[in-house]
Structure 1
Amino acid sequence: MDIFSAGRDFVRREARLVESRLFATIFEGADPAGVVDALRGYQNADGGFGHGLEPDKRCPDSLSLDVEVAFDTLLASGAREEEMVRRAVDWLDKTATPEGAVSLAAPVIEGYPRAEHMSEWTYQPDINPTAGLVGRLYKLGVEHPWRERAAAWCAAKLAEGFPEDAHGMHEAMEFLEHTEVDLDQVRDWLPKLKWYRADATDPSYGVTPLHLAPTPDSFWRPLFDDAQINGHLDRLVADQQDDGGWAITWEPPSQAATLEYRGILTVHALRTLKAYNRL
């Protein structure tokens, strides 16, 4: 069976409704309204998103991390549901620091199953996820007073220096692509990052060039030469499992969370391979 058919069958067999609707929109021409409808089940009355939309914590309360996943899902589907997004940004506004910074999670997650890495560090307002959320709002075309306040905070924070881990830098880059940024400065910083996986032969956990440039027309694609991108595309193809899905390289809190994240990764892998004409 070919890469696409095997991945499609995995999504149909194992993925959540939201990833199944996203797959149908991207690959089968389905109406993106179906993705929006699936996301509504994760949006709380306060406007934020929760209920394990990001599967590493099984908490129903609204968290910025889940809001980010909702924005990513909308962007991937091509859907523009401004009221849904605006309610979420209203929630970010209420929970942010006076300067506009937000945290990935909150102590409320401690009452629910969660991955080991979902700990106290996620409670601190930081570039991750503030910069990533601002960058996604630019892409969604949604203006909001919080976006402007948070953008000013991000600009000031990044003027002091880039994050030291690849996740934080990935979030910073979501914001920086909408600014006058020095590509060479970013290129020089990448090898210094913790959890940055430049070597395509390294099977360990990490952020790769394909995470930073998931399509050939990505803003950050010029940071990487063709050999780097092709090496990671070869690795992505090789990492497809016998069941058609892609595996995760960390320990989620449950079997359900494992399958949910594998569904997310499988749709993402197929999107990347399609963008680079590898399907």
Structure 2
Amino acid sequence: MDDSPRTRALAFLRTHARPLERRLGDLLLGEPHPVVSACAVLDLLSGHRNPDGGLGHALEPDVRAPDSQPLAADFALEVTELVLASQAGADEGVRDRVAAFARGLVPYLASVAAPDGGLPIVLPTVAAHPRAAHWGDGEFPPALNPTAGIVARLRAAGVADPWLDTAETFCRERIEALDDRPDGHTAANVLRFLAASPDQDWARPRLAALGGRLGELSLFQLYPGEGYGLTPVDLAPLPDNPLRAFIPDDAVAAHLRALAAAQCPDGGWPVPWEPPGPAAALEWRGVRTVRSAWILAAH
């Protein structure tokens, strides 16, 4: 019987995960009919849409609020990035559907952005609903996390819009004023923005400066360690990702070994923080299992 990490991961997803991660697992882990799976993933994302055009209803499992949140849009755009990176990403119809889905988020994002284009990661309305402790009272200022990552992913999806131009200017100005040691989440958003910037004369030196300081950042583990932190394979999951240029090969190898060793007996991966309830914990395990098994398969 096949007892590979991929097979065990798929078994976990089929037993424990929500439909979104089950279909995403089908897409990323080599099941047949990738275009059908990709369209199913986009349909499931659309099931979280609200009348304002945004997304909610616990799409990002740590925020159980039904109302729309920038965090949920960011989560969805990361999923569309995975769709485009899959076998189905070469299909023109899938690319058109991704673009339409991403374009549909823009009116909502523009409506909750500051006048200068910046987005907060969550809105204060999260405080009325169950949520992970790190979201507190939901009072967050507009910041590079999530604005820079959202801008980069919308551009990658083929979206053009006046608000997006304003948000891009916000990101450039904040990046130029960035201190030497942003936290790992901010750095990840900034690095994605810089790597995707069409103005590489401006972006390249800033990319090199921040990429060279990864080992100094809080909430980032250049090598495996205790506690929570983003890792090199979170930042640059595939071998051809341009951000790999800033990560030592032995750091990638160490994290791949740690990732493989972390697979649980049930085939899933654990969650290294405290979700707001048992449903959220299982949902996050599904999210992490899809991504972890995909990363390992790519290597």
Q: What range is the shorter-chain TM-score in?
A: over 0.9
Which residue of 2 is the match for residue 246 of structure 1? 269
Which residue of 2 is the match for residue 24 of structure 1? 26
TM-score w.r.t. the length of structure 1 is: 0.94
Shift of 1:181: 2.1
Shift of 1:55: 0.4
Which residue of 2 is the match for residue 13 of structure 1? 15
CA RMSD between the two structures: 1.4
Which residue of 1 is the match for residue 51 of structure 2? 45
Which residue of 2 is the match for residue 89 of structure 1? 106
Shift of 1:171: 1.1
Asked if structure 2 preserves the Cα contact closer than 8 Å seen for 1:164 and 1:192, the reply is: no
Shift of 1:203: 3.8
Shift of 1:151: 0.6
Matches within 5 A, 1:253-272: 253-272=276-295
Equivalent of 1:149, from 166, 176, 184?
166
Whether 1:56 and 2:79 are equivalent positions in the alignment is no
Matches within 5 A, 1:102-181: 102-120=119-137, 123-162=140-179, 164-179=182-197, 180-181=203-204
Asked if structure 1 preserves the Cα contact closer than 8 Å seen for 2:124 and 2:138, the reply is: no
Equivalent of 2:219, from 166, 188, 195?
195
Which one-letter code corresponds to 2:49 in the other structure?
Q
Which one-letter code corresponds to 1:194 in the other structure?
S
Asked if structure 2 preserves the Cα contact closer than 8 Å seen for 1:115 and 1:253, the reply is: yes
Q: Which moved more, 1:24-33 or 1:110-119?
A: 24-33
Shift of 1:83: 2.7
Asked if structure 1 preserves the Cα contact closer than 8 Å seen for 2:262 and 2:270, the reply is: yes
Asked if structure 1 preserves the Cα contact closer than 8 Å seen for 2:24 and 2:41, the reply is: yes
Q: What SS is found at the alignment partner of 2:133?
A: coil
- Counterpart-to-counterpart distance in 1, 2:208 and 2:148: 20
- Counterpart-to-counterpart distance in 1, 2:163 and 2:298: 33
Asked if structure 1 preserves the Cα contact closer than 8 Å seen for 2:119 and 2:142, the reply is: yes
Which residue of 1 is the match for residue 89 of structure 2? none
Whether 1:228 and 2:230 are equivalent positions in the alignment is no
- Counterpart-to-counterpart distance in 1, 2:188 and 2:122: 18
Asked if structure 2 preserves the Cα contact closer than 8 Å seen for 1:248 and 1:261, the reply is: yes
Where in structure 1 do 4 or more consecutive aligned residues deviate above 4 Å? none
Which one-letter code corresponds to 1:206 in the other structure?
G
Which residue of 2 is the match for residue 34 of structure 1? 40
Q: Percent identity?
A: 35
Asked if structure 1 preserves the Cα contact closer than 8 Å seen for 2:127 and 2:137, the reply is: no
Unaligned runs of 5+ in 1: none
Q: What SS is found at the alignment partner of 1:24?
A: helix
1:109-141 C-alpha deviation (Å, 9 max, x unpaired): 111111100124652111000001001112111
- Counterpart-to-counterpart distance in 2, 1:24 and 1:65: 25
Q: What SS is found at the alignment partner of 1:167?
A: helix
Shift of 1:189: 2.2
Matched positions, count: 275
TM-score w.r.t. the length of structure 2 is: 0.88
Shift in alpha-carbon separation, 1:191–1:225, aligned structure 2, 3 A: closer
